[in-house]
Structure 1
């Protein structure tokens, strides 16, 4: 009995010791992208410096993450202390007073070093409401060896006609080599991020100036027809299930001649530890149709604190650490400069070590700088946002439209029927929400 009692006392003292050094546990919701996985592996560096804070990670697939954090913050569920959100959510949620302004990131944080476009996208009323972990646009990543074999030279700013022609010439289905990999998985931030950016370059838009949906336009038909035919002729099988991570795996396995996606992928496709084709990758701006818009978006996965959090001080400490210059230097010391989180700070793009190590640095910053959330389309629109319309309803609308377009890619519906269904669904919701009078 005495031995049992001694054991219980010992266990209690161990528990007391651990809780004394971990008085606050932060629950952080994040996306299962490579840079976020790397951050989790480095969290011990933060907890060593802050022994009174423990960190619990909830890592989710992109669509699931968006659904869970939106539900939690809208219902004031309090499940998370730090949220991973993007440029779409920040101004909307800040306007609803759902986020804590990040006023206390520390004297050495250097908020003025944040890239102006990224900082502006994460601010509301002049206040920063989320700190960017990495920023991105989109661009063409391509196999230089396959391009050369096809007798082609990738322009710095390719047209869609060039991309279509090159994809067909680079395809060799007998060796499971496909000319192009593009997002097909349904979701407002999955296939619709790509397709909305693509549609901008084709002269399409989600809404006219009076909020009437435009999926019955010739420009949208041209966009979706080009996409579906391109993927049918030169894309991998099962493309309607592929999102960012699936296409990254295909490209790194040597299965894709070209991949048009987030600039943040560049460090993974050029890393010999991840990619079989690391020494055979080139980069170009996202394609255009000669109308003055490239098919590139603007996004930043960012860390924010939900309003009403009881752990604001600890959350601010973590966010300041994870999005700081020192964190960038930490990653560089362990993984090399080419693998640091990109697209957030001006100083990174003035750093000769980074520019030397990252052949994708210039196309990345050029793509970010050319994205224009205030004027995303060829024709005028009443919304801001490049690959989304920054209204609360877009999250649901984008996913619904994404499901119709994914079905067209899968061949279970036609392009015309998918566009008609999108037009009907969006018109109904915009009327119900009071946008259409």
Structure 2
């Protein structure tokens, strides 16, 4: 979810270059003082890659070899390695979708034992909704959160003021569409809104599924009846696709979190609905042209009272690692109170990987830097309901995903059809008719 592909590639090359000087090592062997870490190329991860050698390695003597990938590529790579017990990595970033499923499969080390044995770690300081999302059926933690997030609507206050428009604290999607129409200024290169259209269950369907939820739709009913082409799911998807096609950014079918972050951060969109974790980058003057000009509203709704998702990017330890002690030392540092203070002092307080520790919101420096978005972020995380995110009971946990192993493939395949609809290559009706057939195949395994 974050920075340009060129930056990600350059940083990955730099990280590999640095690791080449530090000797061999990794999950399948080598010196225990070298560990391999696979992580998504989001701003917060890029920040830790910059800080690790000077701080963690200097203090611990443990060299960290990073591999950094865009979100979709990361998901493919980490799934392939961990599911197949490849043993290439000692630590990997996974999310709230993977953690409980992979814990059940026995692919991950449980981390509760490590955390409880480390008094300085203060596990009780971690936000409960985030901890719950990363825990297994046994109640143990299987991934330690690097940052937690919900979703909200970001808007350019200057553009709104110029049009005399006031953003409600809790807007409806109908209001958002009306605002987008008024603020769309294609002649000057400003879209009314930026929304993800990039294929991927964690790309376009992260925001889109929250729209489906609040419009009254669901992927599956409680008894596993698939509802992908039901009227509510169809209405929500048509609304989303039509809004992008009418007032969204150019090239929307290839826009994910990274591209929308850049678009909105460069002042080329009036609104953006996405992850609360984006705010830190948007408020950093070194990375954003709209720093200090952004307003934050709760996730837009239609028929529900709240609609924000619940997610965490977290550090997991594959069962295949032979360097568990060193891996935990890195994980505990990367998710500690001390690291959040270090990031704030070294890089700027808006860039702290927040949304996971209560103590962060008590730091005066962070309160000052994040005053425009901290409260709404914390409230959105608390309001997110992975048990009942819509109007009807669900058969599995998840706000913006369905917590079953088959959803990654199902969501990605349907997302490809939706992206084609955004690009004008098919219709929403056809996309969801095809999606319904795929969902029926999944449902047959559970009925």
TM-score range, shorter chain: over 0.9
User: How many matched pairs?
Assistant: 418
The CA distance in 2 between the partners of 1:36 and 1:396, in whole Å, is 26
Alignment of 1:194-273 (within 5 A): 194-273=207-286
Partner residue, 1:404: 417
The CA distance in 2 between the partners of 1:216 and 1:336, in whole Å, is 46
Residue 71 of structure 2: which of 56, 62, 79 is its match?
62
Q: Indicate yes or no: 2:317 matched with 1:305.
A: yes
Partner residue, 1:25: 34
Secondary structure at 1:278 match in 2: coil
CA 1:205–1:16: 2 relative to 1, 3 Å = closer
Deviations 1:317-358 (A, max 9, x none): 000000000000101111222221110001112333312211
Secondary structure at 1:229 match in 2: helix
Partner residue, 1:77: 86
Residue 184 of structure 1: which of 194, 197, 220 is its match?
197
Residue 50 of structure 1: which of 52, 55, 60 is its match?
60
The CA distance in 2 between the partners of 1:294 and 1:221, in whole Å, is 20
Residue 274 of structure 1: which of 278, 287, 311 is its match?
287
Partner residue, 2:361: 349
Contact 1:150 1:166 survives alignment (8 Å): no
Per-residue deviation at 1:19? 8.1
Contact 1:134 1:343 survives alignment (8 Å): yes
The CA distance in 2 between the partners of 1:215 and 1:272, in whole Å, is 42
Per-residue deviation at 1:307? 0.8
The CA distance in 2 between the partners of 1:429 and 1:402, in whole Å, is 16
Per-residue deviation at 1:199? 0.8
Secondary structure at 1:181 match in 2: coil
Partner residue, 1:288: 301
Partner residue, 1:109: 121
Contact 2:22 2:63 survives alignment (8 Å): no
Deviations 1:282-324 (A, max 9, x none): 10001001x2243310000000100131110100000000000
Larger Rg, first or second structure (1 or 2): 1
Partner residue, 2:446: 435
The CA distance in 1 between the partners of 2:306 and 2:160, in whole Å, is 21
Secondary structure at 1:259 match in 2: strand
The CA distance in 2 between the partners of 1:77 and 1:328, in whole Å, is 32
Residue 89 of structure 1: which of 89, 98, 118 is its match?
98
The CA distance in 2 between the partners of 1:275 and 1:216, in whole Å, is 39
Deviations 1:31-70 (A, max 9, x none): 010000000000111100111x211111011011111111
**TM-score, normalised on structure 1?**
0.93
Residue 171 of structure 2: which of 121, 135, 158 is its match?
158
Gaps of 5+ in 1: 1-14
The CA distance in 2 between the partners of 1:394 and 1:293, in whole Å, is 26
Per-residue deviation at 1:71? 1.1
**TM-score, normalised on structure 2?**
0.91
Per-residue deviation at 1:386? 0.5
Partner residue, 2:180: 167
Per-residue deviation at 1:234? 0.7
